[in-house]
Amino acid sequence: MRKFSVGRHAASQTRFVFLAAQWQDLVMLNYEVDPCLLRQYVPTGTELDLFDGKTYVSLVGFRFHRTKMAGVISIPFHVNFAEVNLRFYVCRKMGSEERRGVAFLAEIVPKRVVARIARAVYSENYFCFPMRHFQMMEAAKKIVGYEWRAHDRWCKLRAEVCGIPEHPAEGSLEQFITEHYWGYVTQRNGQCLEYHVEHPRWRVWKSELAGLEGDTSSVYGPELGEVLQSKPDCTFVADGSPVTVYAGRKVE
């Protein structure tokens, strides 16, 4: 059984806080993919992180709440908003340490300032599109959804859950997906930027009633768009927590 560890130890090694926020109601659709689809996107100095020999991408919708730049500065009208991103999993080995992280294929937000800052500071592939999100309760059932309009077409990410969320089982795919505590971004000059993301372990609801509607090829391209139109291999909702994103450093 594969073991995972919470990556909090590195916070003291970083210089300062770039962003602090609450991340809430993370809807996660996870797809096994051919690793060849991702080879060109793997940041320098990292390699694909596999789970039981398989490669995964995740389409994730969630809400930013009480967002503060540098951990203290709130930008008016940019405190609470939604994001949808498509990510995959990588790792970087430093001697005996293995830093397990994510790399993003594309990130969607409804705020132009957020997209511009992310592109300028981290060279992340951000898009600014109109977005809607909703959360509702029907008896014991919780329904969470995120929608975005790309090129005059709406896409919808939605999940239904019930019961009480629990921490993922040790060595499970849900634990693999949620417990990556580093971010890696390819810069314009081809170098790699590494940043640390700190948060406690999330609890999750497994969901058999989760899916995606709409054509995603215009944002993610035809091959990944086709993947996202297929049935996910694993779907769940994570409750979220306070999150701290630390300033990035170039990978030497």
The band of 68, judged by pLDDT with boundaries at 50, 70 and 90, is: confident
Decide if pLDDT at 107 tops 60: yes
3-state DSSP of the chain:
CCCCCCCCHHHHHCCCEEEEEEEEEEEEEEEEECHHHCHHHCCCCCEECCECCEEEEEEEEEEEEEEEECCCECCCCCCCEEEEEEEEEEEEEECCEEEEEEEEEEEEECCHHHHHHHHHHHCCCEEECCEEEEEEEECCEEEEEEEEEECCEEEEEEEEEECCCECCCCCCHHHHHHCCCEEEEECCCCCEEEEEEECCCCCEEECCEEEEECCCHHHHCHHHHHHHHCCCCEEEEEEEEEEEEECCEECC
- pTM here? 0.91
The band of 122, judged by pLDDT with boundaries at 50, 70 and 90, is: confident
Q: What is the mean pLDDT of residues 23-52?
A: 97
Q: What is the mean pLDDT of residues 96-121?
A: 92
Decide if pLDDT at 90 tops 60: yes
Decide if pLDDT at 130 tops 80: yes
Decide if pLDDT at 83 tops 90: yes
Per-domain residue ranges of the chain:
13-250
Domain 13-250 CATH assignment equals 2.40.400.10 = yes
Q: Summarize pLDDT for 160-180 with one digit per residue, the tens.
A: 999 999 999 999 999 999 999
The band of 121, judged by pLDDT with boundaries at 50, 70 and 90, is: confident
pLDDT of residue 11: 43
